[in-house]
Amino acid sequence: MALTTANTPSVHASQATGASAKRRRPRRGQQREGLAGYIFLSPWLIGLMGITAIPMLLSLYLSFTNYDVLSPLGEAEWVGLANYKRMFTSDPSYWRSVTVTVSFALIAVPLKLAAALGVALLLNKAWRGVGLFRGLFYLPSLIGGSVALAIVWVNMFNREGAFNGFLAIFGIEGKPWVNDPSWALETLMVLAIWQFGAPMVIFLAGLKQVPTELYEAASVDGAGRFRQFLSVTLPMLSPVIFFNLVLETINGFQGFTAAFVLSDGTGGPVDSTLMYTLNLYLKGWREYEMGYASAMAWVFLLAIGIITAVFFSTGRFWVHYSDGDDR
């Protein structure tokens, strides 16, 4: 690039103006490349506009209306902030779904990450069969989100399920956990934790990046294994922990399939599994209140944006990026 600049006749003239020296007139090759760039980008751009941006703006508009999906868009009736007001002040099911979702994420995400990190630490030092273990632990992450697995899971925690069979070994009499409002959501948390393999794989990759010299130095300084974990592993791993935490929290908020299967699409028993997304589905597609559902979707989007922002702004206090690291 520097060479081509030197070859252009205008180089002396533009040197005089200093700042504009970099703004060479686009030459034909560059124009052609720019055109090619937009040609290659066009499917994505059409998708961005048509499938993402314009529909999003449309739903923002509809969130200020009453709209039943079935009638033409023109019949959407403007109601101002009524949908938002109803959501925050007069819809108990809304707050119920917020509580369910937040408690799900608050409990399931840390436990899932703890399981992922624990198993990753065990696997990191294992010398044989690591690949096989890693793969088998990862398997639940591939199938755990499916309807079929959710069906199996619900039956496993039902009266005649494997879990009660396990309790029976210890002489404990179980119950149909999935029908009990105080336990149904917990069975879904266990399902989420069961899928610890995906963050585990990411932790394993992170652990490989920790330089062994650090452990040697720590051990020379007399640090025991636990101290090494606290002073070397955790800080060196903090970017990966941060990454997994953000990702899993966002995913955790979006749990839909298992809650749908457990409750046959109602959020029951007694709204105990009414995840936010399930509530969204019920409002939009069972009660045909698409205006209200649009408002719920926008609040959800804002909430996720805020949570992500909070993560990133607090991250600098505990996420350690070592100098010269390639991340």
| Residues 254 to 273 in contact with other proteins, rule: CB under 8 A | 254, 256-257, 260-261, 264-265
Amino acid identity, residue 306?
I
145 binds other proteins (CB under 8 A): yes
77 pairs with which residues across the strands? 66
Measured CA to CA, the distance from residue 307 to residue 300 in angstroms comes to 10
- Which of 183, 194, 229, 311 touches other proteins by CB under 8 A? 194
Binding track over 29-48 against other proteins, x by CB under 8 A: -x-xxxxxxx-xx-xxxxxx
Tell me whether residue 13 or residue 45 sits nearer to other proteins (CB atom): 45
> Binding-site residue total for other proteins (CB under 8 A)?
100
- Which of 105, 178, 184, 201 touches other proteins by CB under 8 A? 201
| Residue 83 backbone zone (phi > 0: left; psi -120 to 50: alpha; other: beta) | alpha
Tell me whether residue 165 or residue 211 sits nearer to other proteins (CB atom): 165
Judge contact between 196 and 119, C-beta under 8 A: yes
- Which of 301, 314, 321, 325 touches other proteins by CB under 8 A? 301
175 binds other proteins (CB under 8 A): no
Indicate the DSSP class of residue 24. P
- Which of 83, 228, 273, 277 touches other proteins by CB under 8 A? 277
293 binds other proteins (CB under 8 A): yes
Q: What three-state secondary structure class fits 78?
A: strand
Token representation of residue 192: 């989420």
State which of positions 68-87 bind other proteins (CB under 8 A): 69, 72-73
Tell me whether residue 185 or residue 296 sits nearer to other proteins (CB atom): 296
Piece in contact with other proteins (CB under 8 A), picked from 3-11, 85-93, 212-220, 279-287: 279-287
Binding track over 104-133 against other proteins, x by CB under 8 A: ---------------x--xx-xxx---x-x
Tell me whether residue 127 or residue 170 sits nearer to other proteins (CB atom): 127
Tell me whether residue 135 or residue 224 sits nearer to other proteins (CB atom): 135
- Which of 24, 86, 96, 134 touches other proteins by CB under 8 A? 134
- Which of 177, 189, 300, 319 touches other proteins by CB under 8 A? 300
CA dihedral 37, 43, 46, 51 (to 10 degrees): -140
State which of positions 2-31 bind other proteins (CB under 8 A): 30
Measured CA to CA, the distance from residue 3 to residue 24 in angstroms comes to 13
Judge contact between 230 and 293, C-beta under 8 A: no
Cis peptide before 269 (omega within 30 of 0): yes
Judge contact between 158 and 178, C-beta under 8 A: yes
Residue whose pair of structure tokens reads 């992170």 in the numeric block: 206
Measured CA to CA, the distance from residue 193 to residue 119 in angstroms comes to 12
183: closest CA among 162, 146, 158, 150?
A: 158
Tell me whether residue 62 or residue 185 sits nearer to other proteins (CB atom): 62
149 binds other proteins (CB under 8 A): yes
52 binds other proteins (CB under 8 A): yes
Residue whose pair of structure tokens reads 């039902």 in the numeric block: 158
80: closest CA among 57, 59, 68, 63?
A: 63
Q: How far is the CB of 12 from other proteins (least distance, A)?
A: 25
